[in-house]
Amino acid sequence: MKYESINYLYLLPLVLIMVIAYIVFFKNKQKALRKFVQAELLDRITLSVSKKKRIVKAAFAITAILFIIFSLVQPKWGYRWEEVERMGVDIVVAVDTSRSMLAEDIKPNRLEAAKREIRSLLNIIEGDRIGLVAFAGTAYTQCPLTLDYGAFNLFLDDLDTNLIPVGGTAIGEAIKKSLSAFNDKVKKHKAIVLITDGEDHQGNAIEMAKIAKEQGIIIYTIGVGKKDGAYIRIRENGKEVLLKDKEGKVVKSHLDEIALNRIALETGGAYSPAYGTQWGLDNIYKNIIAKMEKKELGSKKIKLYENRYQIPLFISLILIMLESLIGERARKTNSQVT
């Protein structure tokens, strides 16, 4: 047996309150009669009222409330199988895992903030397949397109700046690897969400964006980090130091918003900056991706339990009706007839 709205069980104390209320009411009624009615009349009144009927009426009323609560819980038993088609779009999320993503201008750092926002996205996507690409100086498919969001989450948890040993930020390579994740040639129902904080070190991102456009794939870019850039702190020999280049100069990560805008616009997508807590990932999905034309992503059989709330509700109505039909007067016996 399953229950649809188990929170209504919090109403069960009402049953105990009703029991106590009936007991108090009957006792107070008896006290009032003894106080205001003469002794010889009290016996007649008491004999004319059936205590058993009173108890039965109270039991019916209390049991009716119990069944009403049970119907609100909506018990389910018995089931049927139903085949359901899954409709959605294919989304590949490409995440920059270069060491610049360790910058802490977004807390706790850029990479962890990006992972947090992607998890938030998982909570609102509706039946879409999602894949994950990690990139730095090269790109790697971390998770193929899947409807298993739990598995996707596990792959997302494994993202860190040590995943790809080749340094740099190869945005063009990230787009290329994302394109290969789509497994059909239909020129719609597909989107890439590119999350990065750096510049394209290979310089071929626009060319790859044009290829994406030819394949009917829309790219949405998220620029992570503050406009004025940030220094990158790493740990070396147990100490926290600023990242330096080969010439010994301190590296400062700069966001190329112009390039990210061009990449997105080339495919008909959009660019959104991510400053601090201001991220546009949810808005991009809700206002754009979720409204894209969807395709059938397969079907599956689901078990649908039958809602049986009508049964306890019907029983409660019968009990209420019986309670109202039962009177409190006792049957007269021969000894009571004068």
- Residues 293-310 have pLDDT tens digits of 887 766 666 677 888 889
Segment of 13-22, 45-54, 147-156, 222-231 carrying the highest mean pLDDT: 147-156
Contacts of 284 (CB under 8 A, 6+ apart): 193, 220, 222, 270, 272
Model pTM above 0.95 = no
Residue the block writes with tokens 């959009």: 270
- CA-based angle 192:194:199, to the nearest 5? 140
- Assigned architecture for domain 85-298: 3-Layer(aba) Sandwich (3.40)
Output 312 or 49, whichever has higher pLDDT. Answer: 312
Q: What gap in Å lies between CA 180 and CA 203, rounded to an integer?
A: 20
Pairing of strands 271-274, 218-224: parallel
- Residues 188-212 have pLDDT tens digits of 889 999 999 877 778 899 999 999 9
**pLDDT of 179:** 96
pLDDT band for position 69 (50/70/90)?
Answer: very high
Q: What gap in Å lies between CA 105 and CA 161, rounded to an integer?
A: 17
Between 236-245, 293-302, 329-338, the lowest mean confidence (pLDDT) is in: 329-338
Residue the block writes with tokens 């007067």: 329
End-to-end CA distance of the chain: 59
* 335: pLDDT strictly greater than 50: no
Per-domain residue ranges for the chain? Answer: 2-74+309-336, 85-298
